[in-house]
Structure 1
Amino acid sequence: MEQDIQTWVKLSAFAGAGIAMGCGAIGAAIGEGYTAAQANFAISRNPSISGDVFKSMLVGQAIAESASIFALVVAMILLFSNFSAESYVTVAVVFSAGICMGLGAIGSGVGSGYPAGAACIGMARQPSMSGRLMTNMLIGSAVCQTPSIFALVTSFILLFTNFAGRPVSPTWAAILGAGLASGLGAIGSGVGGGLVAETSCEGTARNPEMAGTVTNVMLLGQAVTQTTAIYGLLVSFILMFKQFPAADTIAPAMALLGAGLCMGIGAIGPGVGEGFTARSAVQWIARRPLAIAELTRSMLVGQAVAESTGIYSLVIALILIFVI
């Protein structure tokens, strides 16, 4: 039996590694390609600034690459580590870690490409603001990476925590649900944060005098877009650290797996939607400085309404965990 468990653990680790790196490469490649495309447009518009645009492109691509590097790290751990074969729970653990990091890298990779591309175009429009645009891009792109960091943290907790003493059922479902909640939950927030940061770079180039205000509102808007990823992380932590009694039926396991799916999928839309809201507010603040208060209020109210659907998902996930 021990050999059977070891075989399944290896199979699961290899599959998890493939999913981690395969999915983890999607977002970064799209974000980097978008950045390069915008850099080409910027150079064609103002060839004299090609040196600064080229450097900005490389820096932006390096940040977008970081999410896939996280996935690479997790994949390498899964491929070359010897995991405990004491319980079949380990099979779910290593597979969930790979899914979590692979899915969690998609949104951050795509999102980081938006501000990097906008910074390149901004430099072509306002060469004197190259330094400020680079700073704004770095800040915005860094925030976009936080959801992938949440996924990385969840993956590491799964890989380096001993779950062998827990009952196989429903623990296997709780572990898979944890990976899905954090991984899927990171997608929307990563993309949404990038949408906000993109317009912040555009606004800084359009109206340099409003650069400070535009950056502040960008950070406020991005902070709201990150909340649904935090919900996913919260549900993941509950599923990983709460002790569930052994169950002979499939229903408790499906409730825990459903909780992870509910929160993970339910976090995607609000993250993207809130990004659209904040993106528009930042765009018009740069064009209509006298309407800052009204635009900021409209942004926050609009984001709060979009947030409500993520809260509904959180409520259902918690009911599935603690009530069903």
Structure 2
Amino acid sequence: MDMDTATLIRLASFVGAGMCIGLGAIGAALGEGYTAGLANEGLSYRPNKSGDILKNMLVGQAIAESAAIFALVIAILLLFTASGGDNLLRAAALLGAGVCMGFGAIGSGIGAGFPAGEACKGMARQPAFTSRLTTNMLIGSAVSQTPAIFSMVVALMLMFMNPGSLPVMPMWAAYLGAGLSTGLASIGSGIGGGMAAGASCQGIARNPETLGQVTTTMLVGQAVSQTPAIFGLLVSFILMFRALPETAALAPAMALLGAGISMGFGGIGPGIGNGMTAEGAVAWVARNIESAGDLTRTMLVGQAVSQSTAIYAMVVSLVLIFVV
């Protein structure tokens, strides 16, 4: 069956919308379920604090839900405002937008559930420090949402950028690769940032007097955990804005698509690995604040080594874009 360009663009927007909210719903649901599970555990220890625990649970779940809301917004835009045009590149861009936001919401949704759940559980252990736990939860959860925001930015750029006279070959692969690069890399950073934030809430519940140092260590660890998503964002920008000449050869297109896949998958492990390192450091700072300096230095060295694999992926991506 023959289809014109407008029909293909419309089909791409439909498929992109389905993948966007379908994938985007995974992380938020898991994060919210984790929060509710630990809220029930905390409530069983201290039933008289049910009101505070319930309120904190709902706030934490709302933050975890925001990743899925981002995906819902992009999906609606794809369905109702993203069609039209006569350039086949638009179809690739719309599909890339849906994939980017869908994958990008997974990690942030899961990650935001860790501090929310630990805060609920911590309130049962330290009811006098409920407000401190809530504040720390909000900070940690907000940082965990940044990879989803990166993904939403790339998705919006792909949806509304004007391909102009750019050639379909090989630029279709560049647009799809841009969506994969940020979307996939955001998974690891979202989860890793949440692991550090969860350990922070747990540590404050164990020793509330360490709040300042624990929060500082959490933020440093989260910052490093976000870098794979930043690498993914950088590769996406290069793929979207580097204009290449038209060619009938398939190799250049596959190189561009491979660059997005390389950085996307290459960012998942380092993001989670950095989060594991930060989680351990934050947890032990709360137990032994006198060793906070040594723990922070060890965390940063460990994260640097873990981060090296994301750098390898970025190097390969840049070689695929500029050399191959």
Deviations 1:71-104 (A, max 9, x none): 0000000111153332111110111100000000
Q: Which residue of 1 aligns with 2:255?
A: 255
Aligned counterparts of 1:298 and 1:44: Cα–Cα separation in 2? 37
SS at match of 1:246: coil
Alpha carbons of structure 1 residues 82 and 312: separation in structure 2 relative to 1, 3 Å: closer
Q: Which residue of 1 aligns with 2:235?
A: 235
Deviation at residue 302 of structure 1 after TM alignment: 0.1
Deviation at residue 70 of structure 1 after TM alignment: 0.4
SS at match of 2:83: coil
Q: Which residue of 1 aligns with 2:200?
A: 200
Q: Which residue of 2 aligns with 1:167?
A: 167
Runs (5+) with no aligned partner, structure 2: none
Aligned counterparts of 1:5 and 1:246: Cα–Cα separation in 2? 18
Alpha carbons of structure 1 residues 221 and 82: separation in structure 2 relative to 1, 3 Å: closer
Q: Which residue of 1 aligns with 2:320?
A: 320
**Correspondence list, 1:218-297, <5 A:** 218-297=218-297
Alpha carbons of structure 1 residues 88 and 119: separation in structure 2 relative to 1, 3 Å: same
Root mean square deviation, CA, Å:
1.0
State the one-letter code of the partner of 2:154: T
Alpha carbons of structure 1 residues 82 and 268: separation in structure 2 relative to 1, 3 Å: closer
Q: Which residue of 1 aligns with 2:49?
A: 49
Checking the alignment, whether the CA contact within 8 Å between 2:199 and 2:283 is kept in structure 1 is: yes
Percent identity of equivalent pairs? 59
State the one-letter code of the partner of 1:130: T
Deviation at residue 14 of structure 1 after TM alignment: 0.4
TM-score by length of 1: 0.98
Aligned counterparts of 2:55 and 2:121: Cα–Cα separation in 1? 13
Aligned counterparts of 2:40 and 2:164: Cα–Cα separation in 1? 53
Aligned counterparts of 2:39 and 2:182: Cα–Cα separation in 1? 33
Runs (5+) with no aligned partner, structure 1: none
Q: Which residue of 1 aligns with 2:214?
A: 214
State the one-letter code of the partner of 1:41: E
Aligned counterparts of 2:204 and 2:105: Cα–Cα separation in 1? 28
Q: Which residue of 1 aligns with 2:15?
A: 15
Flag as ranges the 4+ runs of structure 1 deviating above 2 A: 82-85
Checking the alignment, whether the CA contact within 8 Å between 2:170 and 2:252 is kept in structure 1 is: yes
State the one-letter code of the partner of 1:117: G
Aligned counterparts of 2:323 and 2:3: Cα–Cα separation in 1? 37
Checking the alignment, whether the CA contact within 8 Å between 1:90 and 1:164 is kept in structure 2 is: no
Q: Which residue of 1 aligns with 2:97?
A: 97
Checking the alignment, whether the CA contact within 8 Å between 1:89 and 1:164 is kept in structure 2 is: no
Q: Which residue of 2 aligns with 1:308?
A: 308
Q: Does 84-93 or 130-139 show the bigger shift? A: 84-93
Q: Which residue of 2 aligns with 1:298?
A: 298
Aligned counterparts of 2:288 and 2:85: Cα–Cα separation in 1? 62
Aligned residues: 323
Aligned counterparts of 1:12 and 1:292: Cα–Cα separation in 2? 51
Alpha carbons of structure 1 residues 82 and 74: separation in structure 2 relative to 1, 3 Å: closer
Q: Which residue of 2 aligns with 1:70?
A: 70
Aligned counterparts of 1:41 and 1:88: Cα–Cα separation in 2? 53
State the one-letter code of the partner of 1:29: A
Deviations 1:88-126 (A, max 9, x none): 111101111000000000000000000000000100000
Aligned counterparts of 1:214 and 1:165: Cα–Cα separation in 2? 53
Aligned counterparts of 2:147 and 2:233: Cα–Cα separation in 1? 9
Q: Which residue of 2 aligns with 1:190?
A: 190
Deviation at residue 164 of structure 1 after TM alignment: 3.6
TM-score by length of 2: 0.98
